[in-house]
Structure 1
Amino acid sequence: MTSPREVTRMRIRRVLKHWMLLQNLAGGTGLSPFRLKVPKGGLCMRCFACGVGYGPESKTCPICGRDLETDPDRYFRAGMDAISAGDIEEGVSLLEDCSRLDPNHLSARFNLGVAYSLGGRHDLAVRELFAVAQKDPEYPGLLTALGQVAFGMYTHHIEQAEARKEQMLGFLLAAIRLDPEDVDALVTLGNVYIELGLPADALRYLERAAVIVPESPVVYFAMARALEMLGRRRQAALMAKKYLALAPPNDRFKSEVENFMHNLLQGTRATADG
């Protein structure tokens, strides 16, 4: 019989695997959560007495003659002190060196992940936290830290999406100002406004496109979607019907539009019966 502790470990691993799958689908790090990796870059061997660092080939400090520090815990303590003092960059550097000296130093890997996240380096944070998960899926605070990293990624992508939205609208509106009969720009802008939940704005541009190219089926399906969002279901069904009348027999969206129109008509009948 599986023990409660093992059940908990299995659940945590399932959560981590699921999140990594989402990361891969979203074009994230692609790292396996169960493959221990160490930070890239060269190890900086330090003399803490003199406050200087040297390459990994160095053995002694040329200033004081002491042996350079090789104890991972010394780097860990110094890294945590630096972070506590607000020097995130120095703290990260020291924790990276600790992890290079001892890839199994879970406290260093965990706190390095948290520090990366504080600096907005979320992919690196995921790498470190998953390295901890490989060794100890129940490491205290692990899931909370992963949740915080995910939240950081979420807010970052929202900010990026908002910037892309403004850029997208700016380009399309500029294209229409340059050429008021640019049908591609008009239809694309209509679809953009539909996706943004602004069907009335979408209709303004789609109706202009329909005047310029009244034989284009694409315009009418977009208009049908906008009208349906506005609650004008009968008009939406008429636009969908117009699409089907104009579309070629092998049109790849034909079945989608037929389903759309069927659902519209069903909804219209239900409303009338009610």
Structure 2
Amino acid sequence: MAVKSVPKENAASLLIEYQILEKLRDVPGVVQTFGLETRESEPRSGGGRRTYNLLMELSPRGSLVNLGIPESHVRGYARMILRALSSIHSLGFIHCDIKPDNVLVFPAGNMGGQSESLFELKIADFRLATETWKLGPGSRIFTGTLRYMPPEAAVEGQVSPAMDVWGLGCTVVEMLTGNLPWSRFKEDGEVLREIVAGRTPEIPEWLSAKGKDFLSKCFARDPNHRLHVEMFLKHPFVADYGVIGDRRTKTAAVFGGGGMEMQRSPVAVRPRQLFQSGRAAALMC
């Protein structure tokens, strides 16, 4: 069992995450919670300290960060994530921070028709998630991890289910290459400049035609032109997925510990801070 602990004064986002996970209980492809507990530390010079502990499923194989997975398997994993997002969106939630670090890897189980050669993926970390009914006309929420954020979210603070689709596209790129999206740029300011300039994350040249088309649709800059999750599930890149032969060994080598050092993906940021600092004007020049 995994435990996420925070002190009482910093527990707001943890409590929100717990409430959302409770509403997503038993949803396939979503990490499950076993409850929330509070603990008081021993009194020291004036009183104890309260800590909130969120109890969740433990992922024995970590997350998808910086792996580099064969395209044949990425297609199956993309379908798993899409199915989970379909359930999340149908229940009125937007994750707002889809990235490999927030997709956990579990041993293969009952995955509803998925190939036995694949591990099971579950979406985690709902601290930044929001409910669609809270998004009124003109609402602006600057939230997420910049490298995985679509233009409308990074620049204008517009949040919609289409934001998760863009994040999925970035996650697919990272699964395929083992590199971060926008990997040629080290600083968030550089990434934001590219986004403002109208560019999109680089799609690998060696990717199949179906894969390139899938990613190009994930990276449609206008969120109204980005396909809905249900439509992506019908895209041939994932809909035609099938494994020839047993590739369990190859997949296990990718996810096995084996001494592989995994770098964590960037943390969630508030792009608005870049604009308030005066850097946005320079980026738009």
Tell me which interval the TM-score lies in, with the shorter structure as reference length.
under 0.3
Report the structure number with the largest CA radius of gyration.
1
Normalising by the residue count of structure 2, what TM-score does the alignment of the two structures yield? 0.18
Normalising by the residue count of structure 1, what TM-score does the alignment of the two structures yield? 0.19
* Structure with bigger RCO (C-alpha 8 Å, 6+ apart): 2
